[in-house]
Amino acid sequence: MLTAMECDMTKGSPLRLILTFSIPLFIGNLFQQLYSMVDTIVVGRFVGVDALAAVGSTSGFSFMVVGFAQGLTAGFSVLISQRFGAKDIPMIKKTYAQSILCSIICSIVIAAVFALLSMPLLRLIDTPENIIDDANTYILIVYLGIGTAIFYNLFSSILRAVGDGRSPVYFLLIASVLNIVLDLFFVIVIPLGCAGVAIATVIAQGISAIISFFYIKKRFPIFHISRSDFRFDKRLCLRLMKIGIPGAVQFSVCAIGVIIVQSAINGFGSDTVAAYSVGGKIENIITQFSPAVGMGISTFAGQNLGAGNLKRIRKGFRTSFAIMTIGAVIATVIAMFFADSFSYIFMDKNSTSPEIIAMASQYVRTIAWFFIPLGSIFIFRTGCQGLGSGTIPMISSIAELVMRAIAAFTLPLAFGYTGICFASPVAWCGAGFLLPFIYLAKMRSIEKNYKTA
């Protein structure tokens, strides 16, 4: 029996269900971005432009590990979503417990590996010497605290898998407020600089993860697990990793593309690094509707695949694409008219060079014309993951990486900073064009298997 907090997406209007599910996720995504956004604002205004550049220069590496956590746990939740659609309660419990075990193992491995590679990776991308120590301090703390990000994302993904898109938003709101308070405390009251904002982020995410865990335990009987559910199940864990790892690699591959672009930017100096960092933060804020709709269709597709409603899945994808397109157009308009205003949020107008503001705004206005291809990536890449495919998102991410790398190392040679601004759009257009055709092939394969079963 469903509780009031759960949502069965196998019945009812796809438009209403996807919108109702996606809007809270969109709000949650905004608060998720508030984590790194507040870090940037606090160091930019209270420490200085070099500190802002230091935190910004780690964005690719931060995206790599945090994105890995998001992709991994989203993959874990796919099986729960499918079992939820099939109303298989014992398997839901078992999968939940095994997901926790896999998350513990991954947290330890990721923290250990990336902590050892922290400084070598920063030197590999030619991080400017005047900011490298602060950059290393910030990202090292993020690496060591990766377990908090993994478990917050795990519990949020599980809630979304059963149709509860609202509760993660509330927990994220609490964590965001905590992050703001702790950022100010560790930078102004206890002047720890870049280390302070990293510590604040890890603590806030950890508290959010703990609250999410106890909420699930209290409100969802289907997740009342026993000791036997935690008995290591090699076959189930391998199945979880088979879906989770490609999803995690998908984010990590995208992050490598960001790191490659960051390497190209580092050669232009710390002012350009600061400008690009601010532009990237603005991008993350105004493009969050598309990932939310992508998660909506992922859950919708997973539940309906479990229930065998294949025609309904196709209708859901068409609906999601239409919703995303409207959101992308609105985001483009916002970017074109308010790029300068957003830039001033991160930097003090009186003490910041006008050239830095101009470069940040130029980046935002350049990429704004390509939000529909970007949205297409989120719809079809995440949607295919909901269909149980980890390979499609991973291949798509690799193609995006290749195109981003080519653009990053060729366009700046001819067009300077303007070329850098076009690196991401080139990757989005390539991946966004291919994915709809790959999705259609995947659906034909699923429908063929159902007919022969």
**Which of 99-108, 254-263, 429-438 is predicted least confidently?**
254-263
pLDDT band at 1 (very low <50, low <70, confident <90, very high): very low
pLDDT band at 336 (very low <50, low <70, confident <90, very high): very high
In this prediction, residue 323 carries a pLDDT of 94
In this prediction, residue 371 carries a pLDDT of 94
Asked if the model's pLDDT at residue 15 lies above 60, the reply is yes
Asked if the model's pLDDT at residue 7 lies above 80, the reply is no
Quick check: 246 and 29 in contact, CB under 8 A?
no
Taking the C-alpha atoms of residue 110 and residue 112, their distance in angstroms, rounded to an integer, is: 6
Biggest CA pair distance of the chain: 69
Quick check: 426 and 366 in contact, CB under 8 A?
no
- Residue 191 covered by a domain: yes
In this prediction, residue 239 carries a pLDDT of 83
Residues 311, 400, 81: CA angle, nearest 5 degrees: 35
Residues contacting residue 149 through CB under 8 Å, at least 6 positions apart = 65, 66, 69, 205
Asked if the model's pLDDT at residue 35 lies above 80, the reply is no
- Of residues 5 and 342, the one with the higher pLDDT is 342
Show contacts of 335-340: CB within 8 Å, 24+ apart: 335/282, 335/286, 335/364, 335/365, 335/367, 335/368, 335/371, 336/365, 336/368, 339/282, 339/364, 339/365, 339/368
Mean of per-residue pLDDT scores for the chain: 82
Asked if the model's pLDDT at residue 453 lies above 90, the reply is no
Asked if the model's pLDDT at residue 128 lies above 90, the reply is no
Taking the C-alpha atoms of residue 74 and residue 71, their distance in angstroms, rounded to an integer, is: 5
Percent of the chain with pLDDT over 70: 94
In this prediction, residue 317 carries a pLDDT of 92
Quick check: 150 and 72 in contact, CB under 8 A?
yes
In this prediction, residue 441 carries a pLDDT of 84
- Residue 332 covered by a domain: yes
- Residue 408 covered by a domain: yes
Residues contacting residue 162 through CB under 8 Å, at least 6 positions apart = 5, 6, 7, 80, 81, 84, 220, 222
pLDDT band at 320 (very low <50, low <70, confident <90, very high): very high
Taking the C-alpha atoms of residue 250 and residue 237, their distance in angstroms, rounded to an integer, is: 19
Region 306-324: mean pLDDT is 89
DSSP 186: I
- Of residues 361 and 84, the one with the higher pLDDT is 361
Region 378-394: mean pLDDT is 78
Taking the C-alpha atoms of residue 171 and residue 156, their distance in angstroms, rounded to an integer, is: 9
Asked if the model's pLDDT at residue 4 lies above 50, the reply is no
pLDDT band at 363 (very low <50, low <70, confident <90, very high): very high
SS (H, E, C) 69-130: HHHHHHHHHHHHHHHHHCCCHHHHHHHHHHHHHHHHHHHHHHHHHHHHHHHHHHHHCCCCHH
Asked if the model's pLDDT at residue 3 lies above 60, the reply is no
The total number of structural domains in the chain stands at 1
Q: Which residue in 386, 317, 378 sits closest to 163, CA to CA?
A: 386
- Of residues 15 and 43, the one with the higher pLDDT is 15
- In the Cβ-directed half-sphere of 72, how many Cα atoms lie within 13 Å? 29
Region 395-413: mean pLDDT is 82
Task: Count the residues in the chain.
Answer: 453
- Residue 185 covered by a domain: yes
Taking the C-alpha atoms of residue 269 and residue 57, their distance in angstroms, rounded to an integer, is: 11
pLDDT band at 22 (very low <50, low <70, confident <90, very high): confident
Percent of the chain with pLDDT over 90: 12
Residue listed under structure tokens 């993660």: 168
Helix, strand, coil percentages, rounded to 5, for the chain:
85, 0, 15
In this prediction, residue 96 carries a pLDDT of 86
In this prediction, residue 127 carries a pLDDT of 81
Asked if the model's pLDDT at residue 401 lies above 60, the reply is yes
In this prediction, residue 6 carries a pLDDT of 55
- Residue 2 covered by a domain: no
* CA 284 vs CA 26, 50, 101, 288, 342: distances in Å: 12, 21, 31, 6, 12
In this prediction, residue 381 carries a pLDDT of 85
pLDDT band at 36 (very low <50, low <70, confident <90, very high): low
Most confident of 74-78, 349-353, 355-359, 365-369: 365-369
Quick check: 159 and 223 in contact, CB under 8 A?
no
What one-letter code names the amino acid at 61?
A: F
Asked if the model's pLDDT at residue 180 lies above 60, the reply is yes
**Which of 134-148, 153-167, 190-204, 247-261 is predicted least confidently?**
247-261
- Of residues 267 and 315, the one with the higher pLDDT is 315
- Residue 453 covered by a domain: no
- Residue 384 covered by a domain: yes
- Residue 393 covered by a domain: yes
Q: How far is CA 210 from the centre of its chain?
A: 20
Region 215-234: mean pLDDT is 84
In this prediction, residue 327 carries a pLDDT of 93
Region 146-162: mean pLDDT is 86
Residue 394 domain boundaries = 14-448
Asked if the model's pLDDT at residue 268 lies above 60, the reply is yes
Quick check: 250 and 397 in contact, CB under 8 A?
yes
